[in-house]
Amino acid sequence: MAKSTILTALDIGTNSIKFLVGQKKQNFEEISIFAKGEIPHSVGVRKGEVYDFRKVGENLASLKDKIQKSKKIKIRKVIVNIGGSHLFSVRSGGLVSVSRADQKISQEDIDRVLQAAQAVNLPSNKEILEVVPQEFIVDGERGIKNPLGLEGIRLEAKVSLVCSFSPVLENLEKALFEAGLEVQEIIPSPLASSRAVLSPTQKELGVAAVDMGGGTTSLSVFAEGNLIDFAIFPIGSSNITNDIAIGLRTEIATAERIKKEFGSFEFSSKKEKTKKGKIEIPEKEISFPSSFLRNIIKSRVSETFSEVAKNLKKISKETILPSGVILTGGGASLPGLVEFAKQKFELPCYLSGPKGIGEVEEPSFSCCAGLLLSGFDFQEEDGGGEDLGSKFKKILKIFLP
């Protein structure tokens, strides 16, 4: 690895763009954060998907200039997320003969078998974004995580192919191009979030990460160190804000303020006691029972958790997750949410921010932190070269327990 590496991560969400610029020095585990922040945007992204690349490009260009001027660094390449319910996974497999005369499996063999696993027929306008190994099989022996150096004649791979809707991916790439930025890596949001909040032990035992964002909620499920499944639901904390605005017949900004200041799953608080269960916004001439707000929040979150539970049931993991459910994202910080989740899932539930970057702890930055951590993982695998290295080697590196 080079003496020091500076990487930039961009989390392009429905309501805002979050950024982290970090440096990792040779032989040091810690990542130093040069720049961290968030800028709001109201148009260009809907339910996690870029639909107006020009508007998003303008916001990214403005953000880039702001960082470069304030931090005196030049940003050229970025690690960015891709979100939205258009993302889906397909199970596949590949089979190759080991090429070396001594029958030892080489990196070339691993690359070839992962390439073979991509030979699937996808619907029009769909393309493969990531290849996530589930297991390797050497001469019929299953459950191998990394076959490099093993002896064998036949090498098989069982994989999950993470696929996207091509126009959404193209819009994301166009937005970055408009801002004068190059794509260093594009990582699906659920995989980025899980990289930031889940430990290898949790992934080995069985765990689900639920990232509650503004316009979407993502789920990623791991067991025996493997990514079992993921999903993105088009429901987020913005839906709560919209419901409050409609119910109180007020503007979005006021509804967002009410959600952040008074939103809770708890049935009593000091604020409520002093106001006898009433919430008042005098300057807006708004007064309503606190139970009204709780009911709105519970209704939307229940809807979200129901979608998560359906997905867990589909893969038979609704009761078999020893490490429980890890909640993260900006929408996961409502008081009392963890207890509410325990009731809904009947599993251990915890709130977590990103791990591995001491200066970044907020749950709302989990996806962005996961992008940055993944970028440094890739750099270490490639030895610090200018290019981030073989796609397959990187993906294999990330998903080994």
Rounded CA separation 12/19 (Å) = 9
Residue 203, pLDDT above cutoff 70? yes
Q: What CATH number is given to the structural domain containing 15?
A: 3.30.420.40
Same domain for 302 and 319, yes or no, is: yes
Rounded CA separation 120/12 (Å) = 30
Residue 43 lies in a domain: yes
Residue 171, pLDDT above cutoff 90? yes
CB 90 within 8 A of CB 129: no
pLDDT of residue 235: 94
Please, which pLDDT band fits residue 279 given cuts at 50, 70 and 90?
Answer: confident
Please, which pLDDT band fits residue 383 given cuts at 50, 70 and 90?
Answer: low
Same domain for 71 and 184, yes or no, is: yes
Average pLDDT, the chain: 89
Residue 180 Ramachandran class (φ > 0 left, ψ -120 to 50 alpha, else beta):
left
Rounded CA separation 50/84 (Å) = 9
Mean pLDDT value of segment 329-344: 94
Residue 356 lies in a domain: no
Same domain for 130 and 250, yes or no, is: no
Same domain for 214 and 305, yes or no, is: yes
Same domain for 181 and 306, yes or no, is: no
Residue 216, pLDDT above cutoff 80? yes
Among 296, 312, 338, give the residue marking a domain's end: 296
Rounded CA separation 218/209 (Å) = 8
Rounded CA separation 119/255 (Å) = 49
Domain of residue 345: give its range: 200-235+298-351
Residue 218, pLDDT above cutoff 90? yes
pLDDT of residue 265: 84
Residue 269, pLDDT above cutoff 50? no
The residue that leads in pLDDT, 283 or 96, is 96
Residue 312 lies in a domain: yes
Residue 307, pLDDT above cutoff 50? yes
Same domain for 231 and 306, yes or no, is: yes
Phi first, then psi, for residue 376 (nearest 5°) are -70, -35
Same domain for 205 and 346, yes or no, is: yes
Residue 344, pLDDT above cutoff 70? yes
Phi first, then psi, for residue 335 (nearest 5°) are -55, 135
Same domain for 116 and 183, yes or no, is: no
pLDDT of residue 320: 86
Among 279, 296, 313, give the residue marking a domain's end: 296
Same domain for 226 and 308, yes or no, is: yes
Question: Tell me: the pLDDT tens digits for 106-122?
Answer: 999 999 999 999 999 99
CB atoms within 10 A of CB 75: 22
Same domain for 172 and 35, yes or no, is: yes
Please, which pLDDT band fits residue 381 given cuts at 50, 70 and 90?
Answer: low
Q: How many domains does the chain have?
A: 4
pLDDT of residue 28: 63
Residue 329, pLDDT above cutoff 70? yes
pLDDT of residue 4: 64
Same domain for 340 and 394, yes or no, is: no
DSSP secondary structure, 128-179, as one string? EEEEEEEEEEETTEEEES--TT-B-SEEEEEEEEEEEEHHHHHHHHHHHHHT
Same domain for 210 and 339, yes or no, is: yes
Question: Tell me: the pLDDT tens digits for 30-81?
Answer: 789 999 999 988 689 999 999 999 999 999 999 999 999 988 889 999 999 9
